[in-house]
Amino acid sequence: MNKKTLLQLAKTHGTPLFVIDHAELRKNYALFRKHFPRVQAYYAVKVNSDPVVVETFYKLGGSFDVASMQEFHTVYRFIEDLPPQERQDFIWDKIIYANPIKPVETLQELDRYKPLVTFDNEEEVKKIAKHAPNAGLALRLRVPNTGSMVELSSKFGALPGEAVQLIACAHDHGLTVEGISFHVGSQCTNPENYIQAIHLSAGIFAEAKSRGFDLQLLDIGGGFPAAYDASVPKFATLAKKLNYELDRLFPKSIEILAEPGRFLVASAGSAVSKIIGKAVRNDKLCYYVDDGVYHTYSGIIFDHCTYRMKSFKSGPTQLCAVFGPTCDALDTISLAEQLPDLKIGDYLYSNTIGAYSAASSTHFNGFPPATVVHVNR
């Protein structure tokens, strides 16, 4: 989003402001489909669960990875609006419930939809068999997360060596395991994570078949990196490597799906905040703005992400600190920004902040989240 448009929107709507560019969402979705023609994209709703964002991907033919019933219903309301003749008695082609650990109440509510759900342990099999016997299953594997910005393997995933036994366990409980899923960690810039995970999955497919279990689905998860800076590998290069391995190891009869989130929405979000205070502390110029880590900049805490603060005004710059509006010292956006000498009432902005940002906003200390504005819908 260009500076002129962001500044106009801030003056029109006030700050703090979070702007979502739907033209960018459509561009990113088209890029994913172009480079992964065999893979169905299941947008990871947790990354940015705004219903208007979900609607844009739904209209593009996207499917969805949900991890809570709130996210499920955000998506399902679009399916409910379909004419009866266009509905199916299952929702696998549009929704996967990809949280491996689910409350009993969630399973009881999901069961009537005949969902596809992930699991990674025997206790979860027992819960699903009792409370959601109509579900289809995908076994979540523990795979390498080396170099990913947010690792997930310590919390979820069955060891490859126990995978087929868990598939057999599900079968013994009257359930069908449709396939394998994995997640290489969020913002994965190491393609070897994917390649090793694909190889592990292929081995499990073969072992499962030798024991009479015919798997039909591979979910390669998320982790596809957003281009935050020049150090991030080119998406086309990553896709070429993955497609080669997928085509080599999995016949066309195997359904391949993925759960992109950050890649689809990060570059579509921009934040604009206003300087509400200014001070010099320890010889460093400090700016206080009306947004912070309890709001749009929550990714600094929860996503281990760095967002650059930029000025709409030019001029000589100096090393500055930028703080959020709350009374908590944790509310620190940056201690090392190069910014000019600005006045109270001037604006700062950040681009590429569409993922894991406004989704975690709170009302901490009485400060409300940023106003969300959708453009190019």
Q: Where are the alpha helices (DSSP H) in 81-154?
A: 104-110, 122-131
The span from the CA of 61 to the CA of 92, in Å, is 14
Q: Which of 188, 286, 320, 327 is catalytic?
A: 327
The span from the CA of 120 to the CA of 310, in Å, is 43
Q: List the Cα angle 102/181/26 in 5-degree steps.
A: 95
The tokens describing 63, both together, are 């499917």
**Four-CA torsion 80, 84, 89, 93, nearest 10 degrees:** -60
3-state secondary structure of 46: helix
The tokens describing 138, both together, are 């995908």
The tokens describing 280, both together, are 């010099």
Mark whether 327 is an active-site residue: yes
CB 125 within 8 A of CB 119: yes
The span from the CA of 250 to the CA of 205, in Å, is 9
Q: Tally Cβ neighbours within 10 Å of residue 254.
A: 18
Contacts of 80 (CB under 8 A, 6+ apart): none
The span from the CA of 174 to the CA of 130, in Å, is 10
**Four-CA torsion 67, 350, 269, 39, nearest 10 degrees:** -70
Q: Is 327 exposed, middle or buried (0-12, 13-18, 19+ CB in 10 A)?
A: exposed
Instruction: Give the residue numbers annotated as catalytic, written as ranges.
Output: 327
